[in-house]
Amino acid sequence: MSEQAATKRTLEGRVVSNKMQKTVTVLLERQVKHPLYGKILRRSTKVHAHDETNECREGDRVRIVECAPVSKSKNWRVVEIVERAR
């Protein structure tokens, strides 16, 4: 395994929009602990991911991997659909 392939991040998130061609918007949620009070807080980030086959739908859980920039705002690529939306 090359050293560069080991540094690519893989994340899992939920598709919140698929209105663009070959692009989906993925919501990534994480939990962080407040530095002073210790309460667990939910934080989220939206990223655009490249979906070459246009098979993702809203509500799907997908696994995305970091890649070279595809466009101005796309630095992620959909690897697989983990769970289909009901």
Residue 20 structural domain: 3-83
Write down the pLDDT at residue 86.
Answer: 85
Kindly report the CATH number assigned to the domain that includes residue 26: 2.40.50.140
Report the number of distinct structural domains present in the chain: 1
Q: Which residue bears the tokens 């530095």?
A: 35
| 3-state class (DSSP) for residue 2 | coil
pLDDT < 50 positions in the chain: none
Tens digits of residue pLDDT in 52-72:
999 999 999 999 999 999 999
Would you say the pTM of this structure is higher than 0.85?
Answer: yes
